[in-house]
């Protein structure tokens, strides 16, 4: 796993938008809040922080709407000049990660997986997501885009949207 993440930093900036082949065999994780067990994310990827490779976290391209809330103030990270905002679990209010509002230049230049939503590994309980046809672990290479992903509109999230209308 570590080898894969190291190789990521050598990718050219042109590959930022598309999912690089090396990410395609990474498993997709459902992420649960460790404080209240609510589902925070259905498209998690295990990642490392580019600015500090000792930090392990989970990233996603898009969290389901209503699962997390952005905390008001944005600030600069300790590791680099990215502007970030903390994200909190919508149910229990604990800080579970952060959203990169404005990536800094070095971070944009070094290849990232195109994910700007991060979850601290200590705040989430990962569960490998299964393919719904077989019982094999779903990989990023076979994951539908966030708009076509029916898990993004699961009953839990739907209920949340309903009651907020
Ligand atoms: Zn929670
Ligand atoms: Zn940065």
CA of 107 to the centre of ligand 2 (A): 4
Q: Looking at residue 64, what is its pLDDT?
A: 84
Give the model's pLDDT for residue 111.
60
Using the mean position of ligand 2's atoms as its centre, give its distance from the Cα of residue 143 in Å: 27
Residue 156 above 90 pLDDT? no
- Residue 45 CA to ligand 2 center (angstroms) comes to 19
Entry pTM: 0.79
Q: What is the mean pLDDT of residues 89-105?
A: 95
Ligand closest to the CA atom of residue 103 = 2
Count Cα atoms within 13 angstroms, Cβ side, for 51: 13
d(CA 85, CA 27): 26
- pLDDT of residue 5 exceeding 60: no
The β-bridge partners of 100 are 84
Domains by residue range for the chain, with CATH: 2-164 (2.170.150.20)
- How far from the centroid of its chain's Cα atoms is residue 90's Cα? 16
Pick the range with the lowest mean pLDDT from 6-10, 42-46, 116-120. Answer: 6-10
């Amino acid at each position: 796993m570590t080898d894969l993440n190291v190789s990521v930093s050598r990718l050219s900036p042109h590959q930022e938008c598309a999912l690089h082949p090396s990410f395609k065999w990474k498993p997709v994780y459902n992420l649960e809040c460790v404080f209240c067990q609510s589902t925070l994310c259905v498209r998690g990827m295990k990642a490392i922080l580019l600015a500090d490779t000792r930090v392990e976290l989970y990233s996603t391209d898009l969290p389901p709407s209503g699962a997390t809330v952005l905390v008001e103030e944005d600030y600069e990270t300790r590791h680099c000049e990215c502007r970030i905002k903390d994200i909190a679990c919508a149910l229990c209010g604990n800080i579970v990660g952060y959203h990169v509002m404005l990536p800094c230049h070095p971070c944009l230049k070094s290849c990232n997986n195109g994910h700007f939503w991060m979850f601290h590994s200590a705040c989430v309980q990962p569960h490998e997501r299964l393919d719904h046809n077989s019982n094999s672990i779903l990989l990023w290479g076979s994951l539908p885009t966030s708009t076509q992903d029916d898990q993004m509109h699961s009953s839990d999230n739907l209920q949340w949207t309903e009651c907020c209308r």
